Amino acid sequence: MNLRLITIIAVLTVSCKTKTSNWQTLYFGDFKLKAPTDWRKFKEQGIDAYIGGLTNGKDSLWFYFGSYVSGFQGDNKNYLFAQDTINGKIAAIKIPKKDSDGSIEMFINNADGDTKFVLAASGTNKELILDIFKSVVFQTSDTTNNGVLTFAKFKEYPLGSGTTIYQATCTACHSKNKNLTGPALTSELLNSRTTNWLYTFFKDRQHLQTDSSYLTRKKEFEDMECIQLTDYSKEDVNQLIAYLKER
Ligand code: HEC
């Protein structure tokens, strides 16, 4: 074989592999992730959480691993949102509408039991950052279960992720532990309903008019009705249900 042919084969072999296959794995104890070989870990002092990050000198990522943080904080109007499954964990991700106009952030509600995980990135290489996000693995992760999030799927608040739909549309009448206008959305209540049942409840409620468990619940709440999500896409409703079941 002449040298040129060998070079062409070598180039083809490298470009056929996935982008991240020659990245390094960085271990942080409770989790690991992949990053290009010029990235290094750094550690910060956290009082009640494990805080640290990684950097290549230009771009940086910070993580927070602990119990005291809830969803995305602050003013969300300059961001777009999406939800993805990353190694079996439901992750909400936000990106600034304008590059360099905020950080790219990921939030995982049940990273390890009740422990939450935030990963925030400053930097403009969005593809690279998203690929690092997608490589995060916790002790309880399922590496065979991954979504296929692309930037085209990000949407304006409140659509785009189960977390943001829930926070914007449901918390006026529901909490996790207390009955408000609607019943407490406990894991027991949500696990007593299948994914299909919940989908029908939000999208085709007329089909539940002979479902006695639904009619009993409605009576308990003096025939007040939950809202329906008629204008939401199938994907949005499925993301919401996945969020409800996982949180
Ligand atoms: C205006 C108040 C209100 C809003 C907003 C609301 N709900 Fe409800 N929800 C209720 C009431 C009242 C009930 C009990 C009657 C019923 O089941 O329709 C209920 C019932 C439920 C049930 C229990 C159904 C069953 O029988 O198992 C679920 C699950 C639920 N809501 C989820 C949600 C979600 C998710 C959202 C946001 C997309 C939401 N609700 C928004 C008032 C509301």
Q: What is the pLDDT of residues 195-242, one digit of tens each?
A: 999 999 999 999 999 999 999 999 999 989 999 998 888 888 988 998
143 and 70 in one domain?
A: yes
The count of domains in the chain is 2
The region of weakest confidence among 72-81, 131-140, 147-156, 227-236 is: 72-81
Arithmetic mean of pLDDT over the chain: 85
Residue nearest to atom 12 of ligand 1 (CA): 182
> What one-character-per-residue DSSP string does 77-100 give?
TTEEEEEEEETTEEEEEEEESSTT
173 CB within 6 A, ligand 1: yes
The strand ranges marked E within the chain are: 24-27, 31-35, 40-44, 50-55, 60-66, 79-86, 89-96, 104-112, 115-122, 137-138, 155-156
The residue segments making up the domain with residue 234 are 167-246
Last residue of some domain: 132, 157, 182? 157
181 and 148 in one domain?
A: no
Q: With pLDDT > 90 as the criterion, what percentage of the chain qualifies?
A: 46
Within a domain: 11: no
Tell me the mean pLDDT in the region 83-92: 87
Within a domain: 4: no
Q: How far is CA 63 from CA 43, 116, 121, 201, 230, in A?
A: 10, 10, 9, 37, 37
Q: How many residues does the chain have?
A: 247
Residue 65: give its domain's CATH number. Answer: 3.40.1000
Contact 158, 131 (CB under 8 A): no
Under the banding of pLDDT at 50, 70 and 90, the label for residue 16 is very low
Residue nearest to atom 38 of ligand 1 (CA): 170
Cα–Cα nearest to 116, from 107, 124, 125, 128: 107
200 CB within 6 A, ligand 1: no
225 CB within 6 A, ligand 1: yes
In the prediction, which pLDDT does 153 show? 80
Residue nearest to atom 8 of ligand 1 (CA): 226
Q: What is the pLDDT of residues 157-197, one digit of tens each?
A: 554 568 778 877 888 899 999 999 999 999 999 999 999 99
Within a domain: 13: no
Tell me the mean pLDDT in the region 38-62: 89
